[in-house]
A and B are shown apart, each in its own frame.
Chain A
Amino acid sequence: DTGVSQNPRHKITKRGQNVTFRCDPISEHNRLYWYRQTLGQGPEFLTYFQNEAQLEKSRLLSDRFSAERPKGSFSTLEIQRTEQGDSAMYLCASSLLSVGQFFGPGTRLTVL
């Protein structure tokens, strides 16, 4: 399968714990994006990378969120001190330059 992959698919954590998600983009894609989606809404942009450089960050990305793409390939999204409001589907997408973003299956986070 050469699509975008995300791990884990589901994560249940207690409030206050840290969580980390991983995204592996389509291999030749140089851009990687993170979105968050809550029930009944469309995805909301969080941040994106071109190669290893983080080029844009949304105001939704609070200080507790950090994303990295150290070698321009896979990326991680970490949430520190999780809150119940962080419960959502976290989606990763990739693209070749700005042409059409392809999404992974998402990581469903539940904060108890």
Chain B
Amino acid sequence: GQQLNQSPQSMFIQEGEDVSMNCTSSSIFNTWLWYKQEPGEGPVLLIALYKAGELTSNGRLTAQFGITRKDSFLNISASIPSDVGIYFCAGQGYGGSQGNLIFGKGTKLSVKP
């Protein structure tokens, strides 16, 4: 089935550093979403992107929907310890589906105080 390539798989950074992660696909999506998941919990929606080229911010988080509709990136500025978790990208609209979100494998973020 369709998969998203998410990189990097993991990151170890110092508190205060900026973080960048991205997601690519061989197929076009109509919507890109970014989620954060902490152990034992469900994913929490961070940012949703609906138009190619769209750049959206949510506090220290910024995400962009690639012009080709096949990629997206997420930046976190001035990281803090509570940013620790697994960040997932997800694409919607593959093959005409209106419901099916396809997820990447996640980027595990560790922040050293």
Contacts and interface: CB of A to CB of B under 8 A. Distances in A.
Interface stretch (A14-22, A35-43, A63-71, A72-80): A35-43
Contact of B106 (A42, A50, A104): A42
B6 to A, nearest CB: 8
Interface string B78-91: 00000000001010
Q: Is the interface of A mostly helix, strand, loop or mixed?
A: strand
Interface in B44-102: 44-45, 48, 88, 90, 92, 97-102
A106 B42 contact: yes
B42 A56 contact: no
Interface residues of B, number: 24
Contact of B105 (A33, A40, A98): A40
B31 interface: yes
Given A41-B106, A101-B33, A106-B40, 5 more contacts: A33-B99, A43-B43, A45-B102, A102-B45, A103-B42
19 contacts: A40-B105, A41-B106, A43-B101, A45-B101, A48-B99, A50-B99, A56-B98, A56-B100, A58-B100, A91-B43, A93-B42, A98-B99, A99-B48, A100-B33, A100-B48, A101-B45, A103-B43, A104-B42, A105-B42
Interface of B: 4, 31, 33, 35, 40-45, 48, 88, 90, 92, 97-106
Interface of A: 4, 6, 31, 33, 35, 40-45, 48, 50, 55-56, 58, 91, 93, 98-106, 108
